[in-house]
């Protein structure tokens, strides 16, 4: 059988205040087209189907249309709830919709109740583990400590026991695990909600038993012995081992994802004896491109650079020694899709102490105002500005003298 591993659709999410509805509709079409093109038998969505517990109506409607199209294509769907989803709302009527081949796993005890799919002498046992908040489920699992590693250790123990009981010699059985968590050696992004691990965007995390945050990172050793582990939560498509992988989000939800591979994993279950051969990546380019631009105002306003990024979501970091005049306005005119702007020039090295020192050394009201302007905008006052301030100060002095006369 062919299995498509996806996750983190985040239907209803925006990008720095910009509506992504059309991009997400394109994403849904891309998933459905891939299923049809590759004659996929099973589609996995490993959590964060929606971006929030109460998704917009259009997102719910479009998900329904997507599932109907996948059903017409002959594909089964296994979907789990993530930390962004409402497990109750996503799992509503799950027993009924399962009759159409859409299997939703959103409760604890469903984690060790597999979806069984048989075809061509092969059987799949797909265990869908929803996002399990340790503080909620540790007690139900009989655990003394409430952390992600302990919860997953116990859940996987129960899955192994169930799989052992179901294994027979009548058909070749493959066991696939779906889970929504932070696994060791995974690389984080800015767009993932914190789930206990102190993740720094674009850096990897390891399991550490001596810290609470480290225990939120699940060690890869827990997944040994399974044919394939389809993970969700981290937004970059990643291979942790040949058998343990993140599909990542199909589209980019933060600038930290600019260099990530986007798409899905396509698994040929008949070849899973050699997972390196059985799994291949499908590359998708959905929505606007992203770019992080760093440089001086003159460098970033160079015509060839502006032309290259007219239709790109842009993040700009200015490095001029002094903050340029009207910098944001000029950049926004050049880049219509400027999403994030910051100034990282030498002016930021001025500390509060140096500002206080300038005030202490000021010999006139003009020096005080000039020091304030330098402090709040990281740019020295121009001579024209100083002339304007001096004129205003002189007018105040004249008016004050008149009142006292």
Q: Nearest CA to 247 among 257, 260, 232?
A: 232
* Contact partners, residue 168, CB within 8 Å, separation at least 6: none
Name the strand (E) or helix (H) holding 244: strand 244-246
Domain chopping of the chain, boundaries? 2-283, 290-348, 350-404
- Distances, alpha carbon 142 to alpha carbons 134, 153, 318, in Å: 12, 12, 54
Question: Which residue do the tokens 């209803």 mark?
Answer: 12
DSSP state for residue 210 in the 8-state scheme: T
Q: Quote the tokens at residue 266.
A: 């396509």
DSSP state for residue 274 in the 8-state scheme: S
DSSP state for residue 111 in the 8-state scheme: G
Write out pLDDT tens, residues 86-96: 999 999 998 99
Domain 2-283 has CATH 2.60.40.1120: no
Q: How far apart, in whole angstroms, are the C-alpha atoms of residue 304 and residue 307?
A: 5
Percent of the chain at pLDDT exceeding 70 = 90
Q: Does residue 384 carry a pLDDT above 90?
A: no
Reduced to 3 states, what is the DSSP secondary structure of residue 324? coil
Least confident piece of the model among 202-206, 290-294, 340-344, 395-399:
395-399
pLDDT band at 360 (very low <50, low <70, confident <90, very high): low
* Contact partners, residue 24, CB within 8 Å, separation at least 6: 9, 10, 11, 12, 13, 59, 62, 251
- Which of 199 and 238 is assigned the larger pLDDT? 238
Q: Does residue 405 carry a pLDDT above 60?
A: no
Task: Label the pairing between strands 238-239 and 290-295.
Answer: unpaired
Mean pLDDT in residue range 344-358: 62
The answer to whether the beta carbons of residues 372 and 402 sit under 8 Å apart is no
Q: Nearest CA to 138 among 148, 129, 125?
A: 148
Mean pLDDT across the chain: 90
Q: What share of the chain is helix, strand, coil (3-state, %, to 5)?
A: 40, 20, 40
Q: How far apart, in whole angstroms, are the C-alpha atoms of residue 6 and residue 28?
A: 11
Mean pLDDT in residue range 255-267: 95
- Which of 363 and 206 is assigned the larger pLDDT? 206
The answer to whether the beta carbons of residues 182 and 195 sit under 8 Å apart is yes
Q: How far apart, in whole angstroms, are the C-alpha atoms of residue 63 and residue 67?
A: 6
pLDDT band at 354 (very low <50, low <70, confident <90, very high): low
pLDDT band at 13 (very low <50, low <70, confident <90, very high): very high
Q: Quote the tokens at residue 9.
A: 């659709």
Tell me the CB-side half-sphere exposure of residue 389, using CA atoms within 13 A.
Answer: 16
The per-residue pLDDT for 351 is 46
Residue 106: burial class (beta carbons within 10 Å; 0-12, 13-18, 19+) = buried
Write out pLDDT tens, residues 147-188: 999 999 999 999 999 999 987 666 689 999 999 999 999 999
Q: Nearest CA to 218 among 228, 231, 201, 227?
A: 231
pTM: 0.84
């Amino acid at each position: 059988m062919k299995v498509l591993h996806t996750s983190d659709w985040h239907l209803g999410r925006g990008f720095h205040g910009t509506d992504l509805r059309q991009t997400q509709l394109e994403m849904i079409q891309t998933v459905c087209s891939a299923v049809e093109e590759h004659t996929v038998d099973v589609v996995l969505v490993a959590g964060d189907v929606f971006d929030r517990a109460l998704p917009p109506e259009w997102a719910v409607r479009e998900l329904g249309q997507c599932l109907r199209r996948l059903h017409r294509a002959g594909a089964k769907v296994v979907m789990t709830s993530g930390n962004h989803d409402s497990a109750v709302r996503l799992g509503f009527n799950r027993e009924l919709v399962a009759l159409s081949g859409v299997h939703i796993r959103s409760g604890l005890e469903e984690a060790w109740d597999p979806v069984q799919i048989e075809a061509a002498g092969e059987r799949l046992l797909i265990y869908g583990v929803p996002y399990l908040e340790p503080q909620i489920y540790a007690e139900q699992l009989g655990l003394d400590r409430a952390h992600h590693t302990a919860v997953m250790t116990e859940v996987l123990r129960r899955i192994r026991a169930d799989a052992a009981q179901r294994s027979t010699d009548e058909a070749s059985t493959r066991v696939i695990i779906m889970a929504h968590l932070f696994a060791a050696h995974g690389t984080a992004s800015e767009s993932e909600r914190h789930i206990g691990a102190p993740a720094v965007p674009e850096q990897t995390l390891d399991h550490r038993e001596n810290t609470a945050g480290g225990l939120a990172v699940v060690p890869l050793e827990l997944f040994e012995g399974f044919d394939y582990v389809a993970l969700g939560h981290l937004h970059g498509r990643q291979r942790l081992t040949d058998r343990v992988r993140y599909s990542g989000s199909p589209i980019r939800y933060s600038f930290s994802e600019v260099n990530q591979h986007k798409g899905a994993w396509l698994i040929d279950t008949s070849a899973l004896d050699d997972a390196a051969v059985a799994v291949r990546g499908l590359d998708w380019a959905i929505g606007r491109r992203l770019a992080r631009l760093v440089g001086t105002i003159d460098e970033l306003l160079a015509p060839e650079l502006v032309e290259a990024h007219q239709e790109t979501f842009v993040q700009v970091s200015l490095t001029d020694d002094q903050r340029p005049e009207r910098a944001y306005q000029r950049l926004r005119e050049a880049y219509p899709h400027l999403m994030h702007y910051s100034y990282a020039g030498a002016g930021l090295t001025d500390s509060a102490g140096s500002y206080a020192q300038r005030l202490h050394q000021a010999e006139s009201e003009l020096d005080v105002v000039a020091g304030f302007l330098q402090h709040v905008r990281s740019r020295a006052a121009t001579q024209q500005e100083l002339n304007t301030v001096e004129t205003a100060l002189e007018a105040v002095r004249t008016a004050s003298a008149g009142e006292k006369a």
